[in-house]
Amino acid sequence: MVVKLRYLFSFSVMLIIFISIIVYDSVGFASLGLSLDELIIGFGGASDDIFDRLKSLVRNFEADINSVVRINNGVEAVSVRLPVHLRSAFISKVSRIFKPLYIESNHIYRACFVPNDEYWSLQWGFRKIQVDFAWNISVGNSSILVSVVDTGVDWNHPDLAANYVALGYDWVNDDSDPVDDNGHGTHVAGIVAAVINNSIGVAGLSQVKIMAEKALNSTGYGSTDDLANAIIHSVDSGAKIIVMSWGDYYDSFLLHNAIRYAYSNNVLLVAAAGNDAVSEPMYPAAYSEVVAVSATDRWDNLASFSNFGDWIELAAPGVSIFSTVWDDSYAYKSGTSMAASFVAGVAALTWSVYPQLSRDDLRIYLREKADDLGSPGFDIYFGYGRVNAWKALENSTKISDIAVFGVVPGKAVVGQGMRMRVYVNVTNLGYETEVFNVTLYANRTEANCLEMTLQAGESINLTFEWNTAAFSFGRYLLSCCVDPLSNEYNVSNNDKNSSVFVWVAMIGDITGLNPGEPDGKVDIRDVALVARLCGSFSSDRDWNPNADVNDDDKIDLRDVSLTASNFGKKT
């Protein structure tokens, strides 16, 4: 019986092994939950003998061969799949035994996105700013709303309807239908957000939502009050970007106030520089709150008609641009109006990928990613350069963003020379593991500094210890700051202030006429408060952190003694 059981057990084990081999061969490593790597081993035309020897080695490393690449019947390279934890040992042994010409990762390449829109071949400006490469990363996000303040939009145009939202207004005719009766606004809208890959017409730079504010009449002219109303209404409707392909040399208080209103609401404002080939400031483009855009041709020269000056921020294609026009049609147009639309579209595409960027950080980011034209650095013709959509998106997996979300003092009053704790939340909103310093300041004087390592998406609650020995009596605003990282463009969240002030006072001076504020003397009220709470801990209902004089999470005779030792003294 024992013998039969032994044979039965042996047979069962063999059967399990046999089944495991079948499963292994049929489903592979990944289905068994192993982390895999794929390597290419280059032999440069070796004989099949090398290949046969490699197969034997591969089996010893629990690996398998994906494919063999041959050139003129010689083995050019072999693709091998193996568990990640065996990668280093495998490479070492293969290098020692076979001395291959190269070993590299089996990299994955992407198909370059080429839209099937009928007139894509006519859209030279899009290819100039390399948006077809950028589309491999993103074509845009519908959460971004762009307002076209112009002659209106042919909102039922087959190349615009899917991206249009009916949030705008017709200020010229005073109704809720901002339909285009000129064609200019529709041309602008098509550059920004014509529907991509729908087999008809043109492709827009970004697949975001667009709204129309009609403030220019059928001849392309509009009054200050209508334009101001259109800008304000765009902001109130939730627009994140406003494109203004119009202007004049008149500096209006009302128009500037509308621009300031949009700017104060974190809206990115983009405007045409003008088409008179002069350096005189054109408004609204020349306002500091606005991105002023000059126009370039297909050879990256400044367009013959484009305005210029030290108020230009960016340049973009603006000569013979093919886009949508009214009556469901398409046409070429030239002007800085078209160039401004390019910048608005690239901004919308970039914000779709980097939603954590503030408006000002996005503005700086677009400058840094532009192609520098003309004189090195900033110049009066191209500003910081001609926009490049691909450069703006190509490092989407490497962008850094460290945010400080909370700075909470452990108490409102601390005795001079004593220590107190400050609680800080720091989060890595980026895509890479980062090593950085977090610095605590008291009235912008450094109080402490910690070095941190945070993985992508990780959040941590830090506890700083502030030694107040070097700080004089007085009120302090605590803040915490992370120095900007090399690839960090959203720096607006790197610095955070506490919501309350902290007083550095005489040891034991913990009460005053105002709650949480010392009164400059240690009297019976201070001693009474500490004595009444003696024996309590931080978890108790009546806990008062100011009475924990030495900040050890309990109020005991040591706290009473520290307070009583200064009884009767004044600052």
Rg (CA), the chain: 33
The Cα 335–Cα 296 span in angstroms is 9
What tokens does 84 get?
């990640």
Q: Is 536 a catalytic residue?
A: no
C-alpha separations of 25 from 16, 28, 32, 60, 410 in Å: 14, 6, 11, 15, 60
- Residue 402 contacts residue 488 (beta carbons within 8 Å): yes
Sorted by sequence, the CB contacts under 8 Å of residue 415 that are 6+ apart come out as: 468, 504, 505, 506, 507, 508, 509, 549, 562
Q: Known catalytic residue: 177?
A: no
Q: Which of 117, 181, 184, 334 is catalytic?
A: 184
Our measurement of the distance from residue 357's CA atom to the centroid of its chain's CA atoms, rounded to an integer in Å, reads: 5
Length of the chain: 571
* Single-letter residue type at 482: V
- C-alpha dihedral over 77, 78, 81, 82, to 10 degrees? -90
Q: What is d(CA 225, CA 205) in angstroms, rounded to the nearest whole number?
A: 31
Cα 518 from Cα 571, distance rounded (Å): 10
Angle CA 406–412–416, to nearest 5: 115
- Tokens 């009054």 locate to 223
> Can you tell me whether residue 417 is helix, strand or coil?
coil
Which residue in this structure is represented by tokens 């064609």? 183
Q: At CA 406, angle to CA 405 and CA 410, rounded to 5?
A: 165
Catalytic residue flag (residue 150):
yes
370 C-beta neighbours (distance < 10 Å), count:
24
- Of 337, 341, 352, 498, the catalytic one is 337
Q: Which of 150, 226, 297, 361 is catalytic?
A: 150
Residues serving a catalytic function are 150, 184, 337
